[in-house]
Amino acid sequence: MIIVHHLNNSRSQRVLWLLEELGIEYEIKRYQRDQKTMLAPPELRQVHPLGKSPVITDGGLSLGESGAIIEYLVERYGNGRLVPAAGTPEKLRYNYWLHYAEGSIQPMLLMKLIFDRIEKAPMPFFARPIAKAISKNTKSSFIDPNIKRHLDYMEAELGKTPWFAGEAFTAADIQMSFPLEAAVARGGLDSRSPNLIAFLGRIHARPAYKRAIERGGEYRLLR
Ligand SMILES: N[C@@H](CCC(=O)N[C@@H](CS)C(=O)NCC(=O)O)C(=O)O
């Protein structure tokens, strides 16, 4: 039996969704973020040394990293579903977006989260103006323009095909859901990017997505 080590409001929601799309049975072991720090509880380090979510266990296997988990699940249990045929341009695009989600866009959104929090963090009064100035400068000179470039890029790509890898829905769309949802929560993604908003509408309407939300519980992305 596959066990998904699931942290509330986190990337592991994608794994639940993939398993629902594939119709595979699984169990959920739940972990709650610390209310103050929003970090994962230390118990998660017992299943993976980094203590991050998602992690799955499947028999003797314990695997972290969303992209690696998605690749493992579609390869082991997909019977060719949700992945384009090997050697096709769609497969190349599939690989690209599978890596892009965590390798390119997500680091920008994480930096945005961290610098937004620095501005609000408790600190001695004399340090606040300095911290605020550094944060605002980093955001306006680096983070915000980068996020904008990524959003414009993804918007243009989804103007060419309905799904990230091409005409068909694939597991790359599942992987891309989290950065896009995070971009709505904190990256300025809104109706100025109609293709991305339509993509989110389509994925949220999928029965498997809804089932995964029901099973996963609370899913409100950090701002
Ligand atoms: N690139 C990793 C990132 C894992 C990650 O940072 N997960 C977050 C959840 S969204 C986490 O566990 N945060 C809690 C913490 O850092 O303590 C992946 O895609 O699996």
**3-class secondary structure per residue, 162-217:** CECCECCCCHHHHHHHHHHHHHHHHCCCCCCCHHHHHHHHHHHCCHHHHHHHHHHC
Pocket of ligand 1 (CB under 6 A): 7, 10-11, 39-40, 52-54, 65-66, 102
d(CA 62, CA 190): 37
Could you tell me whether strands 26-31 and 2-7 are parallel, antiparallel, or unpaired per DSSP bridges?
A: parallel
The reported pTM is 0.96
First to last CA, the chain: 34
What is the Rg, in whole angstroms, of the alpha carbon atoms belonging to the chain? 18
Paired tokens of 12: 């592991």
Does residue 152 register a pLDDT over 90?
A: yes
For ligand 1, atom 3: residue with the closest CA: 65
Q: What is the pLDDT of residue 85?
A: 97
Give the 3-state secondary structure of residue 8: coil
Q: Which of 53, 73, 219 to mutate to test the pocket of ligand 1 (most atoms within 8 A of CB)?
A: 53
3-class SS string, 41-80: CHHHHHCCCCCCCCEEEECCEEEECHHHHHHHHHHHHCCC
Q: What is the pLDDT of residue 120?
A: 87
C-alpha angle 170-175-176 in degrees, rounded to nearest 5: 95
d(CA 78, CA 90): 17
Does residue 49 register a pLDDT over 80?
A: yes
Distance 21 CA to ligand 1 centre (A): 22
pLDDT digits (tens, 9 = 90+) for 77-95: 999 999 999 999 999 999 9
109 — pLDDT class (breaks 50, 70, 90): very high
The ligand 1 atom at the shortest distance from the C-alpha of residue 11 is 10
